[in-house]
Chains A and B, each alone.
Chain A
Amino acid sequence: MSDSRTDKNRREFLLQGTKFIVLTGVAASAWDYVLAGTPEAAPSYKASQHWWAMMIDIEKCIGCGGCVRACKAENNVPLEPYYFRTWVERYHVRGEDLAHPDVDTPNGGYDGFPEIYHADDGAKSFFVPKMCNHCEHSPCVQVCPVGATFEAPDGVVLVDSAYCLGCRYCVQACPYGCRYIDPRTNTVDKCSLCYHRITKGLTTACCETCPTGARQLGDLRNPKDPIHAFIREHKVQVLKPQMATGSKAYYNGLDGSVR
């Protein structure tokens, strides 16, 4: 009996000990995240050493909307259903009719997607996350009358909201509908590729949250970055290639019906 009690005590000890070690690890990494998330200067960041891009794998997107929620929370985006830095669209394509897909984006995908299609309806359905394409030849940068929208040396298209006139010309010029006027500031807003995070070695809020890895930040100037393999190993495409904007959001599995 005494042996079994000892066994029990030993088992208890091991269990508690493992819990302690595992939880400390979690706590430690959580603490790391807290530290990393604290805004601080990025003195070691050299913009010229990076050329940021986005990998979006449509085949991995499950339409959970986590990216939309994370983005709105991280970047203080208004919650109304027509202001988005990123959003998710659901495509439903019947047969060969690529020109007339049924597309919806309830609240930009913020709350996920209610099931409205049957799996056996003979059509294909998929989700397309959308965001600023951080174009190399941005139409929005071109038209801004005062240069409040500009391309940083690391390829990120940014907005200086202290300089923006609110003329809305850039909103008209963006072929992808990525810009909106923030009603609180009357200036334009759009995805900044979480510039406050990526310049500190973190990834974007949307990539951070994505449970399937459908969105990943890539650095085209880093030869070891997985983006090179992603582009090499997949049939990648950008949105509206006929616009020749030099989009840096590379999609895998982009269907011809997507616009």
Chain B
Amino acid sequence: MEETLLAHVQGFMYPNEMELQWSVLIVLYPFITGLVAGAFILASLERVFKVEAVTPTYRLALLTALAFLLVAPLPLQLHLGHPERSIQMYLTPHTQSAMAMFGFVYLWYLMAVLVLEIWLDYRKDIVLAARSSTGLKQKLYKAMSLGIDNISPESLRIDDKVGRFLTIIGIPSAFLLHGYVGFIFGSIKANPWWSTPLMPIVFLFSAIVSGIALVMLMYMVVSWFTRREISMECVDTIGRYLMYAFIIDFTLEMLDLIHRMYEADESFKSLDFMVQTKLFTSQILVQIIFGTLVPIGLLALPQLLKLSEQARKGIYLLAGSLTLIGIFAMRWNVVIGGQLFSKSFLGYTTYKMGFATREGLLPAIILLVLPFAILWVLVKLLPPWQDDTAKA
């Protein structure tokens, strides 16, 4: 280990800097919370802003958000030197620490917003499922109904009202959840690659982009698997919103880049060199060209040309996938990129990812697959389709 750490250093680094502190797991953390925030914001489009076209994805978006939110703290826990002490963040939080607030923001978002909103929305279905099933399944649904089986129109009207109110609270909460993740990085003045007040807002918009892309893909894939018809009006609308959000996100990121280049402060030469060498593939090629410009271009095609349904589906599938890859690359470039240069601006190192190690590629892949497994269970328990459009 000694030899390899030293061998990776080019130029001069402070000796304690040679060991990279935050691994691929910390790349997953903003990626996953971003998907949660983005999926929730898409869901709230229908509920609060009355975008009827995206209704078919409403429940799926909420379940997706929940599945990913449940996994969000796992990469952090796996990364901690002492995961058993993480409870101290709740018991004795240091109020000046941005990180200390994660636990509270997370719990608020999970329990007060997402779980409650899903419960209110599904309450009728849960009660009906409890009535029509037997045995263990009935017990499960009964437990999920929390013993409340009043589904009178009056009671459902109240549910809807409270649910709407929750969504309205939920939007700033989703903004808080992810803007806050950006703040964790943006507030570190020691690191010029991170330290910018734009960081929370860039994180937020990239979160919205990734969440919308994920729900769009999930909707199409789940529909294919369950042989349901894809509402083209729905995916066209989502595709349009994805493009708008992406343009804002890209504008903000370019603003950050241009600002850095024009100011060219003491860190610029060092960071510029890094982007042109070590981060060239992940930043210029994967993030900016294939992960941003290409999907924005693809999403613009249906706006400019009259394309067949099949062509549009193909475009959305490709653009959505590239978007997710691009946003993942963006998280990678922030988290890993921010550790590849020395705070002396005189040297660089390389990140070597392990495979079957505690913070290696394998646990990262498992943590990325896990939300889909959870989502599969959630969809089984709480079917997201409100009308039966299944093909016979």
Contacts and interface: CB of A to CB of B under 8 A. Distances in A.
Interface in A17-39: none
Interface size class of B (residues with CB under 8 A): 35 or more
A211 interface: no
Interface stretch (B92-100, B299-307, B367-375): B92-100
B92 A146 contact: yes
A152 to B, nearest CB: 16
A163 B21 contact: no
Nearest to A257: B346
B85 A165 contact: yes
A80 B3 CA distance: 10
Interface in B133-162: none
Interface string B7-35: 00000111111110110000000000000
Contacts of A174: 190
B240 interface: no
Nearest to B6: A81
Interface string A134-168: 00000100111111000000000000000111111
A252 interface: no
A104 to B, nearest CB: 7
Given A165-B85, A167-B80, A82 B190 contact: no
B308 interface: no
B344 interface: yes
A144 B15 contact: no
Given A83-B16, A177-B17, A181-B21, A139 B2 contact: no
B2 A81 contact: yes
A180 B232 CA distance: 54
Contact of A165 (B6, B16, B89, B342): B89
Contacts of B338: 172
Contacts of B17: 177
Contact of B346 (A139, A176, A259): A259
Given A81-B2, A103-B344, A186-B81, A145 B100 contact: yes
A147 B344 contact: no
A165 B82 contact: yes
Interface in B156-204: 184, 188-191
A178 to B, nearest CB: 7
A127 interface: no
Given A163-B85, A177-B343, A187-B81, A108 B15 contact: yes
Interface residues of A, number: 45
A168 B79 CA distance: 9
Contacts of B86: 165
B341 to A, nearest CB: 12
Nearest to A105: B15
B54 to A, nearest CB: 37
A142 B338 CA distance: 20
Contacts of A164: 81-82, 85
Contacts of A179: 16
Contacts of A87: 14-15
B99 A169 contact: yes
Contact of B191 (A142, A172, A178, A259): A172
Contacts of B294: none
A80 B346 CA distance: 22
A146 B89 contact: yes
Nearest to B345: A259
Nearest to A168: B21
A144 B92 CA distance: 11
A63 B252 CA distance: 47
B132 interface: no
10 contacts: A103-B346, A143-B97, A147-B97, A164-B82, A165-B80, A165-B81, A167-B76, A168-B21, A171-B16, A259-B344
Given A169-B184, A243-B190, 15 more contacts: A82-B15, A82-B16, A103-B12, A139-B190, A145-B99, A147-B94, A163-B88, A165-B82, A167-B79, A167-B80, A168-B81, A172-B190, A177-B17, A181-B81, A259-B344
Interface of A: 80-84, 87, 89, 100-105, 108, 130, 139, 142-147, 163-169, 171-181, 185-187, 243, 259
Closest 10 CB pairs of A and B: A166-B81, A177-B14, A186-B81, A175-B190, A145-B100, A147-B94, A168-B21, A103-B12, A145-B99, A82-B18
Interface of B: 1-2, 5-6, 12-19, 21-22, 76, 79-83, 85-86, 88-89, 92-94, 96-100, 102, 184, 188-191, 338-339, 342-346
